[in-house]
Amino acid sequence: MITLFEEAAELQELLLAEGLAFFFVGGIPLQIWGQPRLTTDIDLTVFTELVNENERIRWLLTRYKPLIGDDSSTLEFARHRRVLILQSESKTEIDVMLGGLADISEELRRSSYQQFTPSISLNICSADSLIALKTVAGRMQDMADIESVLIKQNSVDWDYIMGYLDQVMDYEDISAKIDQLDHLRKTCGK
């Protein structure tokens, strides 16, 4: 049976061979930055450079199956929602967030390769980016994950985190989620 980390490593090899910038988010980096927990899907951001996005989506669809619908409906969903939802041969869900320009991405600059097994190193988002992204998602599990990151990490870059959250305020009102984050920050003494 192939492990989640092995599947992520295979995907990483494909992306590197294609010359695409990327980093893993969600449950995979949580294994390093916070309290490890069971995760059954692969979440990542892939930078399309906003060029030939349809071709890049189609290229991924030649390697993975759409989770719901067919190639055409999945392509249309990805173009409008900026998320490509796929599955591997072993039925692992892969959520690909379509990023824009890699050279201006602070999140990409902060990402790093971390060792998951003796033979697998994956490019994951920073602990700071993970906190910011999970705050935006704002589910109960995300808040529990943030708490585990705050407990495990000696320091985080609050200026970066709050700056990121200020930028996304234009897209949705996340003030209640920021209030939850502030509560966790105080509770964890950060």
CATH number where 36 lies? 3.30.460
Q: Residue 134: which domain range?
A: 127-190
Q: Which residues pair with 99 in a beta bridge?
A: 47
* 1 pLDDT more than 70: no
pLDDT at res. 171: 74
pTM score, two decimals?
0.94
CB 59 within 8 A of CB 175: no
Per-residue pLDDT tens over the stretch 129-184: 999 999 999 999 999 999 999 999 999 999 999 999 999 887 777 999 999 999 99
In the chain, how many domains are there? 2
Per-residue pLDDT tens over the stretch 10-59: 999 999 999 999 999 999 999 999 999 999 999 999 999 988 899 999 99
- Same domain assignment for residues 112 and 142: no
CB 31 within 8 A of CB 43: no
- Same domain assignment for residues 146 and 111: no
- Same domain assignment for residues 110 and 50: yes
- Same domain assignment for residues 98 and 154: no
pLDDT at res. 38: 92
- Which of 125, 152, 169 marks a domain boundary? 125
- Same domain assignment for residues 167 and 85: no
Q: How confident is the model over 58-66, as a mean pLDDT?
A: 95
- Same domain assignment for residues 10 and 42: yes
* Tokens found for residue 84: 């490509």
